[in-house]
A = this chain, B = another copy of it.
């Protein structure tokens, strides 16, 4: 018989190693991006993450510096035919007019109330600003949150008949999780309203409010009748988080240059450029909407014209190719688009 004292711990260790072995192996084999087809886009993401998180790699990035920024509309969720927040603002108009009946006869509220979609689509940008100001400001931060939350729970996208918050792209949700699992802090950097996106960002993307940078208005500190302080949303623009406003907003709100940035339009151009201009490995990617069947097709690869501000123009496509930004083709690169579809 072998001596007892020397064996127990060793035996247990062997058992533990045998027990852990297959699990560790299968973990290493798990595809972090199962909704992506193999190809240059998927490979660019994996190469970037492995290079920047492997100690000893020349591309290694210390954990505190691992920042990744994502545009939202058209990058993380559907933006076509209208930004969800614009739909929200239009839907809010009847309630706003109820509270201020004199607006019913004033443009652009009159046109919005008419329900004439063609006329609404033709409203000039100044009129859109009036609608945004009337529906997004003037109330307390808490009231706004409750209004937006209520709308998100009941509103449905006309094509998929689902809440807007379900129209996020499964492959991009996987990228968010994959980056976070590798020590990256994921930020939304959106031209949309910061307060609006913060209402659902944690639940929908796992991104907390403090990691949402967006177009932001000022607030005003004041007191209610009982002396309790509260903040009122003011029609004063602090940050226009589009185009050059994106790197400016990133500096203001994060104070570090991202290592990875994802966008889908000219409004994201400067964010990608600023990201790429840093030292070491950087990842710059653009989502191209070229799948009319599963989502929408618009932009350079489709032959369809760039009809709205901030879209993916031919010039942006050419710049991406020239600068080595990776273009993600929804049609070719995404095995699945939405979690609710096979």
Interface on A for B, CB 8 Å cutoff?
A: 4, 7-9, 11-12, 64, 141, 185, 194-195, 198, 202, 208-210, 212, 216, 218-221, 228-231, 238-239, 244, 247-248, 251-256, 270, 273-274, 277
Contact = CB atoms under 8 A, between A and B. Distances in A.
One complex includes copies of this chain to the number of 2
A255 B219 contact: no
Contact of A216 (B195, B252, B273): B252
A12 B277 CA distance: 55
The 9 A-B pairs with the shortest beta carbon distances in the complex, nearest first, are A8-B8, A209-B255, A221-B244, A210-B254, A198-B255, A219-B248, A12-B12, A229-B277, A221-B247
Contact of A270 (B210, B216, B218, B221): B221
Contact of A64 (B208, B239, B253, B254): B208
A202 B149 CA distance: 35
20 contacts: A7-B8, A8-B9, A64-B202, A185-B210, A194-B255, A209-B255, A209-B256, A210-B253, A210-B254, A212-B255, A216-B252, A218-B252, A219-B252, A220-B244, A220-B248, A221-B244, A221-B247, A228-B277, A229-B270, A238-B238
Contacts of A8: 7-9, 11-12
A204 to B, nearest CB: 14
A219 B256 CA distance: 14
B254 A209 contact: yes
A260 to B, nearest CB: 16
Contacts of A228: 277
Contacts of A270: 221, 229
A213 to B, nearest CB: 9
Given A218-B248, A256-B210, A229 B274 contact: yes
A228 B9 CA distance: 60
A254 B211 CA distance: 8
A21 B4 CA distance: 25
Nearest to A216: B252
Nearest to A221: B244
Contacts of A212: 255
A84 to B, nearest CB: 19
A56 B274 CA distance: 46
Given A8-B11, A229-B270, 4 more contacts: A4-B4, A194-B255, A220-B248, A229-B247
Contacts of A253: 210, 253
A3 B270 CA distance: 72
B251 A231 contact: yes
A192 B248 CA distance: 19
A208 B238 CA distance: 23
